[in-house]
Amino acid sequence: MSRFFVDPADYKPDFMVLTGENAVHAKVLRLKNGEEVTVCDGAGRECVCVVSDVSNDQISLVVKAQQAALSEASVKVSVYMAFSKGDKFEHVIQKATELGAYEIVAFPSGRCVSKPDEKSLKKKLDRWQKIAASAAEQSGRGIIPAVVVLNSYKEALQRAAQADLGILFYENEQATTLRMALDAAHFETISLLTGPEGGLESREVEQASLAGLRVCTLGKRILRCETAPLCALSAVMYHCGEF
Model confidence pLDDT, tens digit, residues 8-27: 888 888 899 999 888 988 88
Angle between helices 88-99 and 228-239 (to 10 degrees): 10
Question: Nearest-5° angle of CA 109, CA 115, CA 116?
Answer: 140
What's the pLDDT score for residue 42?
A: 82
- What is the Cα–Cα distance from 225 to 198, expressed in whole angstroms? 8
Spans of all domains in the chain: 2-68, 76-239
Question: What secondary structure letter does DSSP report for 235?
Answer: H
pLDDT under 50 in the chain at which residues? Answer: none
Query: Phi, psi (5° rounding) for residue 151?
Result: -90, -15
What's the pLDDT score for residue 119?
A: 78
Domain boundaries 2-68, CATH class: mainly beta
Contact 113, 198 (CB under 8 A): yes
Contact 203, 179 (CB under 8 A): no
Q: Identify residue 227 by its one-letter amino acid code.
A: T
- What is the Cα–Cα distance from 89 to 220, expressed in whole angstroms? 24
What's the pLDDT score for residue 184?
A: 93
- What is the Cα–Cα distance from 8 to 11, expressed in whole angstroms? 5
CATH superfamily of 76-239: SPOUT methyltransferase, trefoil knot domain (3.40.1280.10)
**Rg (alpha carbons) of the chain, rounded to whole number:** 20
Comparing CA positions, the residue from 107, 108, 99, 46 lying closest to residue 77 is 99
What's the pLDDT score for residue 67?
A: 83
